[in-house]
Each structure stands twice: as structure tokens, then as C-alpha cells.
């Protein structure tokens, strides 16, 4: 879909805050997640920077997971297209493993719910979920992440892996997308 006119000049979370929180999250997991069969699965594409930063803190906390990725898609612009689908599956064997599913943001809850069921169906012993951002006010299916970086309000964000129409993932911070006509989220589909 064609993008609306928008600005991304408002920084919501700075690189420094991201770094500190990701470090804390990894330390939190290290205390609750002792496993000699740990698998980290990133939900692409949004989680790639978060996951890459986090697993380096795993190393510092003596956690040594196998790492793989899956691609799930459902969004066009800022609008969820409904049921997310696995468009590229992971290949690591998760049977009997303790899995941490990592996503960029928990919004309606559909993606993480579907991804969790997918990993359970493949025989994981346990599945924990970890998201950088949580927008609880947008939830459509009941879903709570076991580990979350920041709770944010209902506005669309980009950066640190998150995109708007495929762009702005490279920003080192999280920025708010401000639409020219004030539209956001579902209003932005017009």
C-alpha cells in the first residue's frame, strides 16, 4: 500500500535506554531460564536487531542457545491484515528444548499466539515469549509475554528493527510515526 505523509522525528526510546533494558532482560532470563537445551527463535523481520543485541548479553550471562528464525507476516503499513501466517519456518530441532520466542512488539497478540502454538506443535518442552515492546491497549486475543522490554501506548513506532512499509528498521532508536493528518493505526489504512 502507498504510504501516507508522515514524520519520524520524535524519539520514544533512545539507544542508551534500549541497551540498558536489553541487558537487564537478558540478566532476568538468565536467572529464570537455566537449561542445557536452550533454543532462541526470532520472529522476523522485526526482531533481528533486538535478538542480536540480546544474545550477546546471553553470552555474558553464560547462556549458550541454538538460534534460528521464522518469518511471520500479516501487516501492510500500520494495518494488521488479520491472521498471521508462517511464511518461512525455522529448521532447528526444538523437540524437548526450552524455547524462547523473540518478537519485536506484542500488539493484537495474534502473531505471538500463533508462533507459540507452532513451536509447541513441534514438541518444545517449554516455550517462553520475549518482546521488546508491548502495546496492551491493542490486544485482540489474550496474550502476555513472559519477558518484555517496554510497555508503550497506542501509537505506531519504527526503528531498532521495526518498520513502516519495510522502512526505518535501521534507526538505532525507537521513533514515533506521526501522520500528517493525525491518522494512526487502523485509521492509516485510508
Q: With respect to ligand IMP, which residue has the nearer C-beta, 53 or 63?
A: 53
Residue 96 and residue 134: Cα distance in Å, rounded? 28
Nearest in space to 70 (alpha carbons), one of 53, 47, 52, 38: 47
Residue 133 and residue 160: Cα distance in Å, rounded? 11
C-beta of 37: minimal distance to ligand IMP in Å? Answer: 26
Selected from 42, 65, 77, 84, the binder of ligand IMP by CB under 6 A is 84
C-beta of 96: minimal distance to ligand IMP in Å? Answer: 27
Q: With respect to ligand IMP, which residue has the nearer C-beta, 46 or 149?
A: 46
In 29-137, beta strands by DSSP E? 38-44, 66-76, 79-88, 98-106, 126-134
Considering the rule CB under 6 A, would residue 129 count as an interface residue with ligand IMP? no
| Residue number closest to Mg ion, CB atom | 46
Q: Which of Mg ion, ligand IMP, none is residue 106 near (CB under 5 to 8 Å by kind)?
A: ligand IMP
Considering the rule CB under 5 A, would residue 109 count as an interface residue with Mg ion? no
Site for Mg ion in 8-67 (CB under 5 A): 46
Interface stretch with ligand IMP, choices 49-57, 88-96, 107-115, 122-130 (CB under 6 A): 107-115
Contact 61, 25 (CB under 8 A): no
Q: Give φ, ψ of 149 to 5 degrees.
A: -80, -60
What 3-state DSSP class applies to 65? coil
C-beta of 45: minimal distance to Mg ion in Å? Answer: 6
Q: Which of ligand IMP, Mg ion, none is residue 48 near (CB under 5 to 8 Å by kind)?
A: none
Put residue 96 in one of left, alpha, beta given phi > 0 → left and psi -120 to 50 → alpha.
Answer: left
Largest CA distance in the chain: 52
Considering the rule CB under 6 A, would residue 176 count as an interface residue with ligand IMP? no
Q: Which residues form the interface with ligand IMP (CB under 6 A)?
A: 46, 75, 80, 84, 103-112, 156-158, 162-163
Amino acid at each position: 500500500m502507498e504510504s501516507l505523509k508522515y514524520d519520524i522525528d520524535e524519539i520514544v526510546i533512545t539507544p542508551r535506554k534500549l541497551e540498558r533494558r536489553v541487558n537487564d532482560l537478558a540478566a532476568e532470563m538468565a536467572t529464570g531460564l537455566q537449561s542445557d537445551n536452550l533454543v532462541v527463535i526470532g520472529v522476523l523481520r522485526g526482531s533481528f536487531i533486538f535478538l542480536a543485541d540480546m544474545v550477546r548479553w546471553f553470552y555474558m550471562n553464560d547462556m549458550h542457545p541454538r538460534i534460528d528464525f521464522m518469518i511471520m507476516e500479516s501487516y501492510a503499513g500500520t494495518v494488521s491484515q488479520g491472521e498471521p501466517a508462517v511464511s518461512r519456518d525455522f529448521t532447528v530441532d526444538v523437540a524437548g528444548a526450552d524455547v524462547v520466542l523473540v518478537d519485536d512488539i506484542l500488539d493484537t497478540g495474534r502473531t505471538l499466539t500463533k508462533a507459540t502454538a507452532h513451536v509447541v506443535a513441534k514438541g518444545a518442552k517449554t516455550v517462553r515469549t520475549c518482546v521488546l515492546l508491548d502495546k496492551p491497549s491493542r490486544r485482540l486475543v489474550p496474550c502476555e509475554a513472559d519477558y518484555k522490554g517496554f510497555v508503550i501506548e497506542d501509537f505506531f513506532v519504527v526503528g531498532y528493527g521495526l518498520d513502516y512499509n519495510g522502512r526505518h528498521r535501521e534507526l538505532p532508536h525507537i521513533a514515533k510515526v506521526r501522520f500528517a493528518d493525525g491518522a494512526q493505526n487502523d485509521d492509516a489504512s485510508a
